[in-house]
């Protein structure tokens, strides 16, 4: 990592990922995932899940079959994205065309500011003030001061905030008021998943996006009274296949889309770009937070991400 990445649940100084490679003849497809402890995952558990379906994959299991072999999560994501990449390599048809898209255009990503003191976050915001969208990590107590400091340091940037389940009923009004005062466009996952019913009881002054509360299509409709948008992350959905289906159903239910990521390399970001054109916000800045990316990684120009070279993925 370039700097420690700090959210409400703790800090990390490195990105630990798992890469699945599936070969057929001269062709190879790759997919990358990030095991996430919040969801009970580790490198060992994800590796074990991948190995548990090795025989089925080697026997020719395709993307549709894979959905029934593994649950949503990081392991299935790595394999699903590897199968998309393999299909693109074998057919010579780019993955975005296989997904029914006519083109894959550049997009603008948010840039994430870690949780810190108001002064620390103001300095980070000032350094990134020329970026069009800043994603501000929050932690509950003291968030009003953090938001005011970031807004003063980056007066022109569009702000979105991510509470990572750290707010509580007793500080919702104060924190939402601080967001409104700072001109925040969106609040991501203010309350813990499973304890967010309060969000449906009234209208809030800022749009609310579900993250930890939504993984795949199961239970999506029940979240509609609570949230305005859903954060589609491939490590939650278990790959691009379910992510595309989740996006379709979410739009049919009236949700806006937010495309997010874990901290990972460009190999993990590339498949998510197939959803970017449909999203109100894109948060695929993982490689920008790393000390180094893959040599064939995505091209970032400021906050603009350009489509992947086939050597990377798809």
Tokens for 220? Answer: 């999506």
Q: Are 87 and 95 in contact (CB under 8 A)?
A: yes
User: Which 3 state secondary structure label does DSSP give 292?
Assistant: coil
Q: How many CA atoms lie within 13 A of 103 on its CB side?
A: 4
How many distinct helices (H) and strands (E) make up the chain? 11, 15
Catalytic residue chosen out of the listed positions 89, 135, 137, 236:
137
- In our burial notation (b when 16+ CB lie closer than 10 A, e otherwise), range 111-136 reads bbbbbbebeebbebbeebeebebbbb
Residue 154 CA: distances (Å) to CA of 31, 79, 122, 187, 255: 36, 40, 8, 18, 29
106, 18, 83: which is closest to 241 by C-alpha? 83
| Total residue count of the chain as it appears in this document | 314
Distance (Å, whole) CA 87 – CA 93: 8
Q: What sign does the CA torsion over 235, 236, 239, 245 have?
A: negative
Catalytic residue chosen out of the listed positions 89, 135, 233, 236:
233
The answer to whether residue 12 is catalytic is no
The answer to whether residue 137 is catalytic is yes
* DSSP string covering 48-111: HHHHHTHHHHHTT--HHHHHHHS-SSHHHHHHHHHHHHHHHHHH---HHHHTT-S----EEPPE
Tokens for 294? Answer: 């893959």
User: Which 3 state secondary structure label does DSSP give 180?
Assistant: helix
Residues carrying an active site annotation = 137, 233
């Amino acid at each position: 990592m370039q700097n420690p990445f700090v959210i409400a649940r703790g800090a990390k100084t490195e990105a630990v990922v798992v890469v699945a490679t599936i070969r057929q003849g001269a062709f190879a497809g790759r997919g990358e995932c990030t095991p996430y402890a919040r969801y009970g995952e580790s490198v060992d558990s994800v590796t074990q899940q991948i190995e548990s379906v090795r025989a089925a994959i080697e026997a020719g299991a395709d993307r549709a079959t894979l959905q029934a072999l593994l649950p949503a999560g990081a392991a299935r994501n790595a394999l699903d994205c590897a199968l998309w990449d393999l299909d693109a390599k074998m057919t010579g048809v780019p993955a975005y065309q296989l997904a029914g898209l006519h083109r894959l255009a550049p997009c603008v990503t948010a840039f994430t500011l870690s949780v810190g003191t108001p002064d620390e976050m103001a300095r980070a915001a000032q350094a990134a003030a020329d970026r069009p969208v800043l994603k501000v990590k929050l932690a509950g107590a003291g968030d009003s001061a953090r938001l005011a400091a970031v807004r003063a340091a980056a007066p022109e940037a569009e702000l979105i905030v991510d509470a990572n389940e750290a707010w509580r009923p007793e500080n919702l009004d104060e924190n939402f008021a601080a967001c409104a005062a700072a001109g925040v466009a969106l609040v991501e996952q203010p309350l813990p998943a499973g304890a967010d019913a309060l969000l449906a009881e009234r209208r809030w002054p800022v749009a609310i996006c579900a993250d930890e509360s939504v993984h795949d299509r199961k239970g999506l409709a029940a979240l509609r009274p609570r949230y305005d948008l859903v954060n589609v992350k491939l490590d939650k959905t278990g790959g691009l296949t379910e992510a595309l289906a989740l996006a379709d159903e979410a739009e049919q239910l009236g949700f806006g889309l937010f495309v997010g990521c874990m901290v990972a390399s460009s190999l993990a970001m590339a498949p998510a770009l197939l959803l970017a054109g449909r999203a109100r916000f894109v948060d695929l800045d993982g490689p920008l937070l790393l000390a180094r990316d893959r040599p064939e990684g995505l091209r970032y120009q400021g906050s603009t991400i350009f489509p992947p070279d086939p050597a990377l993925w798809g």
